[in-house]
Amino acid sequence: MPERQKIALVGIGKIAVDQHVPALAASPDWELAATVSRAGTVDGVEAFTDIDTMLAARPDIGMVSLALPPVPRFAYAQAALRAGCHVMLEKPPGATLAEIHALEALADAQGVTLYTTWHSRMAHAVAPARAWLAD
């Protein structure tokens, strides 16, 4: 079995605790290796209060998932991309289109992946897709 990929989750609020943490714990592919939050933590996972400290202390983590509001997310994404990490942006991916274009260019320059989610935008398609894929 392949080694699980280490991921840092930034922003340990209600959605992260209710959705992200259980999904990562259930995944054979990912290991929640660190968190970054001003207040939230996850039992048994190394916790940091700022991203720069985490990135410096944990160069073995190659993926950062940002579950933060759009405005502070931009600086966090820049830091993670500059550190050579792949980055996932929670919805919406940025406060402005210019931010997304800047992050895209930075990810390209660093040779890493920038993945943006926005599942609620396509939520109307979930039920028909589930029915179509059932058989």
Catalytic status, residue 6: no
* CB-CB contact of 66 with 94 (8 Å): no
The one catalytic residue in 19, 49, 69, 91 is 91
66 C-beta neighbours (distance < 10 Å), count: 23
Report how far residue 25's alpha carbon sits from residue 44's, in angstroms, rounded to the nearest whole number: 12
51 C-beta neighbours (distance < 10 Å), count: 24
Of how many residues is the chain composed? Answer: 135
Integer angstrom CA distances of residue 64 from 14, 98, 129, 130: 18, 21, 29, 29
* CB-CB contact of 24 with 49 (8 Å): no
Catalytic residues, by residue number, are 91
